[in-house]
């Protein structure tokens, strides 16, 4: 047996055996000792190589982790920059839209006041300018009301007044209210109601406001000559029975990339901006906020109609028949 050592450190031993008893010659012992020395050196080099390799792998893992962290930081920073750009764009569009929506009625009101004050008018002309003042004042009031309502919803300060609502009577009354307004735009409202009467425990004022916003939106983007469908369905076979109210119109659509943010406040679609359709992007936000307040949900879909320039846009409002509100 020949010990395997390197600089006084034991590494093992080299054992040689022969099948018969014999004496080892000096040159044989010298050869074995040389082999042991080379073997000891090879073992040390192998151990050193393993340690170096482990150190390299450790450093590589650290570098990889560092690069992953830097990549994530870069991606996070990039996303934040993109969000800031989008917020800046939305803010610019908001300021432009709000300025237009505020200044346009004020300009009309100023003109009407000037004519009433300075020009000699007959009764018909006076009534016309008074109507302009009344209409534009209503627009300003509605804009302020929408902003205040949104603030109330976001602060969860909206009070609910639950009542049993006959949905057939409720929707038919809504149809009568909107019929003349829509006919002026060459549109019709078609209610589609189930044969059996449906009652819903809800806040009628909030429900009326939700449907008003959805119908206002449908009116703005519908192509003349088409019908706006208002359909009521009942799903009673599930664990929580609910009603589904669908407002569907044909005309300008919502692009796929806009659907995920269609309910965001002050968000307006490309077609609304390109065609200068009035509004500041609060109607759908208010509809969604009030729907959540009623423990319901609202979703939007929009698909192009083949061989036409029109889109079929649908807003589906789902409300529980008997809501369960958190205390």
pLDDT computed for residue 326 by the predictor: 41
Q: How confident is the model at residue 93 (pLDDT cuts 50, 70, 90)?
A: low
Exposure on the CB side of residue 325, measured as CA atoms within 13 A: 12
Q: Does the structure show a pLDDT above 60 at 295?
A: yes
In angstroms, the CA 134 to CA 192 distance is 35
pTM: 0.63
**Interval 222-235: pLDDT, tens:** 999 999 999 999 98
Count Cβ atoms below 10 Å from residue 268 Cβ, excluding itself.
Answer: 20
Q: Write out the two tokens for 306.
A: 């083949």
Q: Is the dihedral of CA 136, 145, 272, 182 positive or negative?
A: negative
Who contacts 283 (Cβ-Cβ below 8 Å, separation ≥6)? 146, 213, 216, 217
Using DSSP's 3-state secondary structure scheme, residue 15 falls into coil
Average pLDDT over residues 55-67: 92
Q: What backbone torsions phi and psi does residue 244 show, to the nearest 5 degrees?
A: -125, 120
Q: Which of 47-51, 187-191, 270-274: highest mean pLDDT?
A: 187-191
- What is the band of 168 on the pLDDT scale with cuts at 50, 70, 90? very high
pLDDT at 186 over 90: yes
Kind of pairing between the strands at 2-6 and 311-320: unpaired
Q: Residue 243 pLDDT > 50, yes or no? A: yes
CATH class, 86-154 region? mainly alpha
Please say whether the beta carbons of 233 and 276 come within 8 A. Answer: no
Helix (H) or strand (E) holding 228: strand 227-235
- The CATH number for 164-320, chosen from 1.10.540.10, 1.50.10.100, 3.30.565.10, 3.40.50.1860, is 3.30.565.10
Give the whole-angstrom CA distance, residue 211 versus residue 287: 8
Structural tokens at position 12: 């093992």
Contact 266, 289 (CB under 8 A): no
- Whether the CB-CB separation of 185 and 218 falls below 8 Å is answered with no
pLDDT above 80 for 179: yes
The structural domains of the chain, with segments of one domain joined by +, span 2-65, 86-154, 164-320
């Amino acid at each position: 047996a020949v010990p395997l050592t390197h600089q006084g450190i034991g590494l093992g031993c080299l054992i040689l055996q022969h099948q018969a008893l014999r004496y080892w010659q000096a040159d044989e012992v010298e050869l074995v000792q040389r082999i042991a020395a080379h073997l000891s050196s090879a073992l040390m080099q192998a151990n050193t190589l393993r340690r170096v390799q482990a150190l390299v792998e450790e450093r590589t893992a650290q570098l990889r982790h560092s690069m992953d962290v830097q990549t994530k930081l870069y991606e996070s920073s990039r996303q934040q920059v993109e969000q800031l750009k989008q917020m800046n764009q939305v803010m610019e569009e908001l300021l432009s839209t709000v300025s237009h929506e505020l200044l346009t009625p004020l300009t009309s009101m100023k003109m009407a006041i000037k004519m009433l004050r300075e020009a000699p008018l007959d009764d018909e002309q006076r009534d016309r300018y008074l109507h302009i003042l009344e209409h534009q004042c209503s627009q300003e009031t509605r804009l302020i009301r929408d902003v205040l309502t949104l603030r109330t919803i976001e602060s969860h300060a909206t009070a609910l007044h639950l009542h049993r609502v006959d949905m057939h009577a409720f929707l038919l009354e809504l149809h009568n209210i909107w019929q003349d307004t829509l006919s002026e735009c060459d549109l019709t409202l078609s209610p589609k109601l189930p044969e059996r009467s449906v009652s819903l425990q809800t806040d009628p004022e909030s429900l009326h406001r939700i449907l008003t916003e959805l119908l206002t939106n449908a009116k703005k983007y519908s192509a003349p000559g088409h019908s706006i469908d208002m359909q009521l369905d009942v799903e009673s076979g599930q664990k929580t029975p609910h009603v589904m109210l669908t407002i569907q119109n044909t005309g300008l659509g919502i692009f796929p990339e806009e659907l995920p943010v269609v309910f965001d406040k002050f968000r307006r679609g490309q077609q609304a901006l390109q065609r200068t359709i009035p509004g500041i992007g609060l109607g759908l936000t208010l509809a969604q906020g009030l729907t959540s307040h009623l423990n319901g949900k609202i979703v939007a879909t929009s698909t192009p109609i083949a061989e036409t320039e029109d889109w079929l846009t649908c807003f589906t409002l789902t409300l529980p028949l008997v809501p369960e509100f958190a205390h």
